[in-house]
Structure 1
Amino acid sequence: MAVKVKIGGNSRTGAQHSLGVRILRVALIACSALLLLFFSVFGYYYFKYQKIVDDRLNAGPMFTNTSQVFAAPREVRPGQKLSAGTIGQELRQAGYNNNPQMGTYQLRGDTILIKPGPQSFHSTDGATITTEDGEVQSITAENGVALRGYELEPLLITGLSEDKNRIKRRLVSYKDIPQRMVQSVTAIEDRQFFEHGGINYARTIKCGVQDLLSGRKACGGSTLTQQLARGFFLTPEKHIKRKLIEILISFQLEARFSKQQIFEMYANQINLGQRGSFAINGFGEAAQAYFGKDLKQLDLAECAMLAGMIQRPNYFSPYKHPERAMERRNIVLDSMVETNAITKSEAERAKAEPIRLAPPNVDASEAPYFVDVVHDTLVQRIGDQELSHQSLRIYTSLDPDLQRAASEAVAIGMQNVDEMVRKQHRGNGPITWPQVSLVALNPHTGQVLAMVGGRNYGVSQLNHATSKRPTGSIFKPFVYAAAYNASVNGQTIGDKGIFTATTMLDDEPTTFTFDNGRQTYTPRNYKDEFHGSVTAIYALAHSLNNATISLGQMVGFENVAALGRQAGIAAARGTPAVSLGAYDATPLDMAGAYTIFANNGVHLNPWTLASVRNLNGDIVADFAPEARQVLDPRVAALSTSLMEGVMNFGYGYETRKRGFMAPAAGKTGTSHDAWFAGYTSNLICIVWVGNDDYTDVKLAGALAAAPIWAEFMNRAIKLPQYSDMKAFSYPDGVIMERLDKNTNLLSDSSCPNAYSAAFLAGTEPHNTCSHMGDDQRNFFQKMLGIGGQTQSQENQQPPAGNEPGASPNPAAVHSGPPPNPGAQPNPGSSPNPVVEEPKKKKNFFQKIFGGGDKKQQQPTQPQQ
Structure 2
Amino acid sequence: MASNKRRRQNASRPGRLHRWMVRLSLMALVGVLALAGYMVYLDVQLRERLDSRLYQLPARVFARPLILRERMVMRPDELEAEFEALNYRKRDTLTEPGQWTRNGMDYRVWRRDFQHADGREPAAVVSFRLRNDEISNLRDENGERLESFRLDAANIGTLLGGGDDRNPVRFADIPPLLANTLIAVEDQDFLNHFGVSPRGIARAMLANLKAGEVVQGGSTITQQLVKNIFFDHKPSLWRKFNEALMAILMELHYEKGYILQEYINEVWLGQQGSRAIYGFGLASEFYFQRPLDRLEPHQIALLVGLAKGASYYNPWRHPERALERRNTVLDIMLKQGLIDADTHRANKAKPLGVSSAGGNAQNPYPAFTERLLEELRPYYSYEELRTAGLRIYTTLAPSVQKVVEDAVSAGAANLEKTRGIQKGSLQAATVLLENQSGKVLAMVGDRRPHYPGFNRALEARRQVGSLIKPAVYLTALERPHKYNLATPIEDAPLRVESDDGQVWMPSNFDKRSHGPTPLYLALAKSYNQATARLGMDLGLENVRQTIRRLGVQADLPRVPAMLLGAVELTPFEVANMFQTIANGGEHVEPRTLLAVSDADGGHAQYFRRRADRGVDPVPAYLLRYALEQAMREGTGRSAFRRLPGSVAFAGKTGTTNDYRDSWFAGFSPGVTAVVWLGRDDNARTSLTGATGALSIWTEVMRSLPHRHGRVEPPRGVEFKPVNERGQYMDPDYCRGGTELPFSYETRLQPAPECAGRDRWRWFRNWFDRGDQQEAAPREEMTPGWGIDPSEEERRRERERQLQEQLRRDDESQQDPQPDEEPLQLPRREEDLRNRAAPVVEAQPWQREAPQPWELEDQWP
Contact conserved, 2:393 with 2:593, CA < 8 A, in 1? yes
The answer to whether the 8 Å contact 2:164/2:277 transfers is yes
* Separation of aligned partners in 2, 1:754 and 1:42: 104
Kindly indicate whether the alpha-carbon contact (under 8 Å) linking 1:605 and 1:625 is maintained by their aligned counterparts in 2: yes
Q: Distance in 2 between matches of 1:276 and 1:521?
A: 54
Task: Tell me the amino acid that sits aligned with residue 491 of structure 1.
Answer: K
1:71 aligns with 2:64: yes
- Establish whether residue 566 from structure 1 lines up as the match of residue 538 from structure 2: no
Alpha-carbon spacing, 1:503–1:332, altered in 2? closer, same or farther (3 Å): farther
Q: Who is 1:668 aligned against? A: 653
Q: Aligned in 2, Cα 1:193/1:618: closer, same or farther, shift over 3 Å?
A: closer
- Structure 1 partner of 2:431: 439
* Cα shift at 1:228: 3.2
Distance verdict in 2 for CA 1:377–1:222, change over 3 Å: farther
Could you report, residue by residue, the CA deviation over 1:10-48 in whole angstroms, capped at 9, with x for unpaired residues? 99999899999979996x789878867876775566455
1:818 corresponding residue in structure 2: none
**SS of residue in 2 equivalent to 1:669:** strand
Cα distance in 2 between the residues matched to 1:586 and 1:548: 23
Matched, 1:646 2:630: yes
Q: Which residue of 1 aligns with 2:443?
A: 451
Give per-residue Cα distances to partners, 1:56-114, cap 9 Å, x unaligned: 3455524448566462461522466799x99x999x999xxxxxxx9xxxxxx999999
Note the 1:592-611 alignment, pairs <5 A. 592-611=576-595
Counterpart CA distance in 2 for 1:778 and 1:340 is 100
Residue number among 683, 686, 696 corresponding to 2:671 in the alignment:
683
CA distance change for structure 1 residues 352 and 22 in 2, over 3 Å: closer, same or farther? same
Instruction: Tell me whether 1:304 sits opposite 2:297 in the alignment.
Output: no
**Shift of residue 604 of structure 1?**
1.0
1:475 and 2:473 matched:
no
User: What corresponds to 1:409 in structure 2?
Assistant: 407
1:155 equivalent in alignment to 2:146: no
SS class of match (2:627): helix
For residue 728 of structure 1, the aligned residue among 699, 702, 711 is 711
SS of 2:609's partner is: coil
Instruction: Determine the structure 2 residue equivalent to 1:351.
Output: 348
Aligned partner letter, 1:627: A
How far apart are the structure 1 equivalents of 2:323 and 2:725? 68
Distance 1:404 1:233, change over 3 A: farther
Contact 2:649-2:669 at 8 Å conserved across structures: yes
- Supply the distance in 2 between the matched residues of 1:432 and 1:20 (Cα, whole angstroms): 97
SS for the counterpart of 2:270 is: strand
Q: Distance in 1 between matches of 2:265 and 2:113?
A: 29
Q: Is this contact kept in 2: 1:111–1:131, CA < 8 A?
A: yes
TM-superposed CA distance for 1:299, in Å, is: 1.6
Give the TM-score of the pair, scaled to structure 2: 0.68
How far is the alpha carbon of 1:234 from its aligned partner? 3.5
Structure 1 unaligned blocks of 5 or more? 1-6, 95-101, 103-108, 493-497, 768-774, 780-839, 851-864
Match of 1:711 in 2: 699
Aligned to 2:329: 332
Correspondence list, 1:219-258, <5 A:
222-237=219-234, 242-258=239-255
- Are the structure 2 counterparts of residues 320 and 112 from structure 1 closer, same or farther at C-alpha, using a change threshold of 3 Å? closer
Distance 2:70 2:725 in 1: 46
Q: CA deviation at 1:390?
A: 6.2
- Kindly indicate whether the alpha-carbon contact (under 8 Å) linking 2:506 and 2:529 is maintained by their aligned counterparts in 1: yes
Is the Cα contact below 8 Å between 1:602 and 1:631 reproduced in 2? Answer: yes
Amino acid aligned to 2:348? K
**Offset from partner CA, 1:760-791 (integer Å, 9 cap, x none):** 57688987xxxxxxx56989xxxxxxxxxxxx
For 1:491, the equivalent position in structure 2 comes to 482
Residue 176 of structure 1: how far off its partner (Å): 1.0
Aligned to 2:489: 503
Q: Tell me the amino acid that sits aligned with residue 407 of structure 2.
A: A
For 1:229-283, what per-residue CA distance to the aligned partner results, in whole angstroms no more than 9, with x for missing partners? 3433344555555555555554444443323212222222334435687544332
C-alpha deviation, 1:567, in angstroms: 1.7
Q: TM-score, normalised by structure 1?
A: 0.67
Aligned partners of 2:312, 2:224: CA distance in 1, in Å? 19
The one-letter amino acid of 1:475's match is: L
- Give, in whole Å, the separation in 2 of the partners of 1:324 and 1:740: 80
Contact 2:87 2:289 in 1 (8 A): no
CA gap 1:362/1:708 in 2 versus in 1, 3 angstroms: farther
Distance across 1 between alignment mates of 2:244 and 2:812: 96
**In structure 2, C-alpha distance between the alignment counterparts of 1:325 and 1:704, rounded to whole Å:** 47
Say which structure, 1 or 2, has more relative contact order (CA 8 Å, 6+ apart).
2
- Compute the displacement of 1:611 (Å): 3.8
Contact 1:363 1:457 in 2 (8 A): no
SS in 2 for 1:626: strand
Q: CA offsets per residue over residues 648-696 of structure 1, 9 Å max, x none?
A: 3444345457666643112233444443322111111223345566666
Q: Which runs of 5+ in 2 are unaligned?
A: 89-96, 98-105, 757-802, 815-860
- Name the residue aligned to 1:553: 536
How far did 1:625 drift? 1.5
Please say if residues 471 and 669 of structure 1, whose CA atoms lie closer than 8 Å, have aligned partners that are also in contact.
no
Residues 405, 715 of structure 1: 8 Å contact kept: yes
Instruction: Tell me the SS of whatever aligns to 1:381.
Output: coil
Partners of 1:713 and 1:309 in 2: how far apart?
45
1:502-581 equivalences under 5 Å are 503-506=489-492, 508=493, 512-513=496-497, 521=504, 529-531=511-513, 533=515, 535=517, 537=520, 540-541=523-524, 543=526, 545-571=528-554, 572-581=556-565
2:258 alignment counterpart: 261
Equivalent-residue separation in structure 2 for 1:262 and 1:313 (angstroms): 21
Partners of 2:299 and 2:344 in 1: how far apart?
A: 12
Q: Give the C-alpha shift of residue 472 in structure 1.
A: 0.9
Q: Structure 2: which amino acid aligns with 1:716?
A: L
3-state DSSP class of the match of 1:377? Answer: helix
Cα deviation code 1:529-574 (max 9, x no counterpart)? 4555484555544555555434332332222221111122112343
SS at match of 2:619: helix
Q: How many residues align?
A: 730
AA of the residue aligned to 2:467: F
With over 3 angstroms needed to count, the CA separation of the structure-2 counterparts of 1:125 and 1:283, relative to structure 1, is closer
Match of 1:97 in 2: none
Counterparts in 2 of 1:304 and 1:389: CA distance versus 1, 3 Å: closer
Query: 1:281 is matched with which residue: 278, 281, 287?
Result: 278
SS of corresponding position for 2:379: helix
2:405/2:449 contact within 8 Å kept: no
Mapped partners of 1:41, 1:210: distance in 2:
35
Instruction: Identify the match of residue 606 of structure 2 among 614, 622, 630.
Output: 622
Is the Cα–Cα contact under 8 Å of residues 552 and 579 in structure 1 kept in the other structure? yes
What's the offset of the Cα at 1:440? 2.0
Identity of aligned residues (%): 26
Contact persistence 1:474–1:676 (CA under 8 A): no
Greater CA drift, 727-736 or 661-670: 727-736
8 Å contact kept, 1:159–1:170? no
Q: Tell me: CA distance 1:310–1:445, structure 2 relative to 1, closer, same or farther (3 Å).
A: same
Q: Which amino acid aligns with 2:261?
A: E
